[in-house]
Amino acid sequence: MERLLHQRKPKLTARHPDTPHRSRAMTRHPASALVLIPLALALAACKPDADPAPAAPPADTATTAQSGAVAGTDATAVVDHERPDPAGFDRKAFAGSFAGTLPCADCPGIDMRVDIDADGSFSASETYQDRDTTVETAGTWTIDADGRRLLLDPDSKDEADRHFEIVSKDEIRMLDAEGKPVESALNYSLRRG
């Protein structure tokens, strides 16, 4: 009888004959499977996307400063600040102060000073003679592809862009709002000072 007490009792599991035998590992921790399956799916979804197509390079025919109004905006020019300076143009040599007296419609003249920095920034001061009015402007400057025109692009979009012709390393001449020469016998030049 002692022998019968120490014998193992057979397991009483009822299985359907068509049901495959399951291992104990799968039936022991069903909650683990519920956690591992979504985790595996999440990791599979985290694979990096294919590299996006590179951006198209700017067209070679684009100019640094295009004159005229830009449709649908109040901008007077489109400026490409990333375009390199024309061959032979030296920013450090060009940087400096230019000053002169420009014509004024209702005063004796406008004393203007433009300080151009080699880093691409500028500041300008315009003092109207016979008035206590001085207008200060700051922004960035660029040179066109030919190296003959200077565009002053103010930080404040309430102010218009200013176009100048580079006459020499010591003289710039103000152009009209469209970047064309002013038809006048009056002096529109600023000289290095």
Give the pLDDT score at 9. 54
What per-residue confidence (pLDDT) applies to 59? 47
26 domain-assigned: no
Q: Where are the alpha helices (DSSP H) in 47-136?
A: 91-94
Whether residue 53 is contained in a domain is answered as no
* Domain assignment of residue 148, yes or no: yes
Amino acid identity, position 137: T
Q: Are 164 and 65 in contact (CB under 8 A)?
A: no
State the CATH number of the domain containing residue 98.
2.40.128.640
Confidence at residue 66, expressed as pLDDT on a 0 to 100 scale: 47
Domain holding 170, by residue range, is 91-192
C-beta neighbour count of 61 within 10 angstroms: 6
Helix, strand or coil, per DSSP, at residue 42 = helix
Low-confidence ranges of the chain (pLDDT < 50): 1, 25, 58-68, 80-81
Give the Cβ contact number of residue 112 at 10 Å. Answer: 19
Query: The tokens 């012709």 sit on which residue?
Result: 165
Let me know: does 61 contact 78? Beta carbons within 8 Å: no
pLDDT number for residue 54: 55
Please write the tens of the pLDDT for every residue from 119-152. Answer: 999 999 999 999 989 999 999 999 998 889 999 9
Provide the pLDDT for residue 131: 92
Domain presence at residue 5? no
State residue 157's pLDDT score: 85
Domain count, the chain: 1
pLDDT confidence of residue 145:
87
Is residue 145 within 8 Å of residue 153, measured between CB atoms? no
What is the pTM for the complete model shown?
0.57
* Mean pLDDT taken over the chain: 76
Inside any domain, residue 27:
no
What is the C-alpha to C-alpha distance for residues 95 and 55, in angstroms, rounded to an integer?
33
In-domain check, residue 134: yes
